Amino acid sequence: MRDRWKERQDITLLRKCLGGLVIGLLAGGCMDQSGLAPGVTRSGIRSVRVEMTETEVEEILGAPAARGDPRPIICGPTSERLRRYELIKDPNPGCWREGPLSSVTLIYFARPKLPGPYPMLWVYLRDGRVTGVHANKHNLVGSHGVYWTTRDGGHVEMPEFEATFPR
């Protein structure tokens, strides 16, 4: 009698676990986890051109989720480098950045709370003007490029770009 009771408890627990897993997978696949601004669409991304200003980009894509600082960061002893570079104090204790800030990366995505695929978009600026756009599709294994601008002002689109970003 005790073995049967234990067996029924195990089956009930297994059903609950499998049910929760199925619901989690369905919700993760159906929910928009991208955190993208409404302007971050395929047509919006295609509209961003090299040499546009940051204001023009934000009019198309909306405000970025974050801004990145691409300058190299140096932490620890800096006496040797202080003689060779113009170093600027970084907010992190004991850290410095090389040179004045002339480059900025606009980051148009946020990592979702649930694991699963999500779009990633960066817009690179130098002296307030676009130098490049790069989009990736991130999945559980890693990420790969689906869109990027070229030096001549054109762009390359992989077939997955259509499925990665909303219309």
Residues in the chain: 167
- Model's pTM, two decimal places? 0.66
DSSP conformational letter for 39: T
Label the pairing between strands 95-98 and 87-89.
Answer: antiparallel
Give the pLDDT score at 115: 77
Distances (CA, A) of 167 to 45, 75, 164: 10, 43, 10
**Average model confidence (pLDDT) across the chain:** 76
Residue type, 95: C
Among 18-27, 98-107, 111-120, the range with the most confident prediction by mean pLDDT is: 111-120
Beta bridge partners of 106: 67, 123
Where along the chain do its domains lie? 1-31, 32-65+108-167, 72-101
And the tokens for 5? 């009771």
Three-state DSSP class for residue 82 = helix
